[in-house]
Amino acid sequence: MLPVLKSLSKIKVLLLENIAPSAIDTLKSYGINKITQHKGSYSNKELKIIIKDYHVLGIRSRTHLSGEVLNAANKFSTIGCFCIGTNQVDLVAARELGVPVFNAPYSNTRSVAELAICHIISLFRQISVKHLAILAGVWDKSANGCYEIRGKTLGIVGYGHIGKQLGAIAESLGMNVFYYDTLRQLSLGNAKALKSLKELLKISDVVSLHVPDNDSTKNMITRQELAIMKKGSYLINLSRGSVVSIDDLSLALESKHIAGAALDVFPAEPDSKEISFDCLLNNTPNVILTPHIAGSTEEAQVDIGQDVANKLANFLMSGSTIDAVNFARLNVPPIKNCMRFIHIHKNMPGMLTKINDVFSSLKVNILGQYLQTHDDIGYGVIDADVKSNSSRLAIKEALRSIKHTVRSYSIY
Ligand code: NAI
């Protein structure tokens, strides 16, 4: 365990939107104790006043951080998005202000993979059909159209974090696993890579989509792709709503070419439960619809809390930005027998020389130096042999006075 840094004890953290207690426990384990919590979110107007007091802000998906809000903060150091996405933050504005943003993109991987397994079994066993029948008072014990998943072929589109876990679990349940990914991936277990989406669609008894939302995946599954899928096969989409054409899927289900589908994501999703949701597939048999909950489990929340808090603490303790989503990525070692200076500046020629001049003019020995750039911002981390507080303050002031400096501070 490294000694608690003096600069950490000054850090003030504001956590909004009922962030999991695991985040607070984690921050405290690093000696970050000045933590204020607020159950809800704040309006932009309120935030502009409130965040002036804090160095760190933790949010989930309901708090929108515009450039205007971020510009109102004067001692802001970093933002933690205790969720998967970071669309709610103006990432460019944050970078230009020298503020790295962290999130937890993979904390709910297992939760999504498990729901996919649940959907595969439910579709093969017609669970939604049986459930609706029994609610209507019909005791339908028929085995018609109900199958085991053992020995069936699962086609995974997007063999990333979720796709790989799903494949491994499905294989342990006796399924044959194939996948298609635009990147070369290492197969887990006996999973086999196929060269094209078409090949995968042709052979799969169930296709499960786990791709990101990008130009290549927009409307990836339309009438043409559904027609290539095996007659009587199933489709699962727990990835993004833009990937599947709901109109075309509805027609394929009506014609019974596709025997069932499970969707957790939709092209347009309501912002809150007060807004009603209508989907073309609301009344289609053997269709399971869920409100974007594939990753929503208690375990995922705990993991998100720990993951983001660890990333924030790592940044605050060492200046490491390796996990930031909007910033020059630097993986720096823990501070040892030195003081560390952070210098965030406009990415321009000659900045490193000016930084070094500060140390040489003050006759201070540099022990280590790291620099990385991202678009318009340069990020420098300098370890120096500084023993006194007065020397630390002199260096900090001199670094801050360099032209084109965005922010500069010390960790000690
Ligand atoms: P990942 O980034 O680990 O994996 C995505 C994979 O898709 C990568 O291997 C990538 O190379 C591949 N890919 C990209 N474009 C492709 C294309 N055109 N064709 C085939 N493969 C392509 O992402 P992860 O964590 O596995 O997540 C997958 C999806 O699941 C994402 O869209 C994510 O937003 C979504 N998701 C949904 C949740 C929910 O609650 N429904 C929760 C968590 C993630």
Q: Domains in the chain, start-ordered, CATH in brackets?
A: 1-108+297-327 (3.40.50.720), 109-289 (3.40.50.720), 333-412 (3.30.70.260)
Residue 352: φ, ψ to 5°: -65, -40
**What are the residues whose beta carbons fall under 8 Å from the beta carbon of 26, sequence distance 6 or more?**
305, 306, 309, 310, 313
pLDDT number for residue 4: 56
Residue 355: φ, ψ to 5°: -65, -45
Q: Which residue is listed with tokens 């019974």?
A: 256
* Distance in Å, CA 349 to ligand 1 centroid: 38
Ligand 1 atom with the smallest distance to the CA of 294 is 40
* Burial of 60 from C-beta contacts in 10 A (0-12 / 13-18 / 19+): buried
In tens, the pLDDT along 144-183 reads 999 999 999 999 999 999 999 999 999 999 999 999 999 9
Please compute the mean of the pLDDT values over residues 191-220 and round it to a whole number: 97
3-state helix/strand/coil string of 272-289: CCCCCCCCCCCCCCCEEE
DSSP 224: H
Summary mean pLDDT of the chain: 95
Q: Is the CB of 155 under 6 A from ligand 1?
A: no
Q: State which of 81, 162, 265 you would mutate to test the pocket of ligand 1, scoring each by most atoms of that ligand within 8 A of its C-beta.
A: 162
pLDDT number for residue 9: 84
Rounded CA-CA distance 410/183 in Å is: 41
Among protein residues, the one with the nearest Cα to ligand 1's atom 8 is: 160
Q: State which of 211, 242, 263 you would mutate to test the pocket of ligand 1, scoring each by most atoms of that ligand within 8 A of its C-beta.
A: 211
* Distance in Å, CA 212 to ligand 1 centroid: 4
Q: Is the CB of 269 under 6 A from ligand 1?
A: no
Please compute the mean of the pLDDT values over residues 63-92 and round it to a whole number: 93
Question: Three-state DSSP class for 388?
Answer: coil
Residue 40: φ, ψ to 5°: -100, -160
Angle at which helices 351-361 and 389-400 cross, to 10°: 150
* Distance in Å, CA 401 to ligand 1 centroid: 44
Among protein residues, the one with the nearest Cα to ligand 1's atom 37 is: 239
Please compute the mean of the pLDDT values over residues 387-407 and round it to a whole number: 96
Question: Three-state DSSP class for 72?
Answer: helix
Q: Is the CB of 163 under 6 A from ligand 1?
A: yes
Active site residues: 240, 269, 292
pLDDT number for residue 163: 98
* Distance in Å, CA 262 to ligand 1 centroid: 17
**6 pLDDT above the threshold of 90:** no
Rounded CA-CA distance 157/116 in Å is: 13
Token digits for 318?
């060492």
Of all residues in the chain, what percent carry a pLDDT higher than 90?
Answer: 91
Rounded CA-CA distance 173/152 in Å is: 10
Please compute the mean of the pLDDT values over residues 384-411 and round it to a whole number: 95
* Distance in Å, CA 240 to ligand 1 centroid: 8
Q: Is the CB of 217 under 6 A from ligand 1?
A: yes
Q: Is the CB of 193 under 6 A from ligand 1?
A: no
Rounded CA-CA distance 404/412 in Å is: 24
Among protein residues, the one with the nearest Cα to ligand 1's atom 43 is: 295
Please compute the mean of the pLDDT values over residues 362-385 and round it to a whole number: 96
Question: Three-state DSSP class for 115?
Answer: helix
pLDDT number for residue 314: 96
Q: Which residue is listed with tokens 């690093």?
A: 30
Q: Is the CB of 238 under 6 A from ligand 1?
A: yes
Among protein residues, the one with the nearest Cα to ligand 1's atom 42 is: 295
What's the pLDDT band for 141 if we cut at 50, 70, 90? very high
- CB of 339 closer than 8 Å to CB of 396: no
In tens, the pLDDT along 289-348 reads 999 999 999 999 999 999 999 999 999 999 999 999 999 999 999 999 999 999 999 999
Answer left, alpha or beta for residue 402, where phi above 0 means left and psi between -120 and 50 means alpha: beta
Please compute the mean of the pLDDT values over residues 393-404 and round it to a whole number: 97
Residue 89: closest CA among 59, 54, 56, 51: 59
- Contacts within 8 Å (CB) and 24+ apart, 1-8: 2/317, 2/334, 2/335, 4/30, 4/31, 5/31, 5/317, 5/335, 5/411, 5/412, 6/412, 7/316, 7/410, 7/411, 7/412, 8/32, 8/316, 8/317
Ligand 1 atom with the smallest distance to the CA of 217 is 18
pLDDT number for residue 50: 93
- CB of 197 closer than 8 Å to CB of 172: no
pLDDT number for residue 1: 44
What's the pLDDT band for 2 if we cut at 50, 70, 90? very low
Residue 337: φ, ψ to 5°: 55, 40
Residue 147: closest CA among 46, 234, 247, 41: 234
Ligand 1 atom with the smallest distance to the CA of 212 is 32
Q: Is the CB of 75 under 6 A from ligand 1?
A: no
Q: Is the CB of 265 under 6 A from ligand 1?
A: yes
Q: Can you give the C-alpha Rg of the chain in angstroms? A: 26
Q: Is the CB of 119 under 6 A from ligand 1?
A: no
- Distance linking the first and last C-alpha atoms of the chain: 16
In tens, the pLDDT along 226-273 reads 999 999 999 999 999 999 999 999 999 999 999 999 999 999 999 788
pLDDT number for residue 74: 82
Q: Is the CB of 77 under 6 A from ligand 1?
A: no
Please compute the mean of the pLDDT values over residues 109-136 and round it to a whole number: 97
Ranges of H-type helices in 319-407: 351-361, 389-400
DSSP 52: G
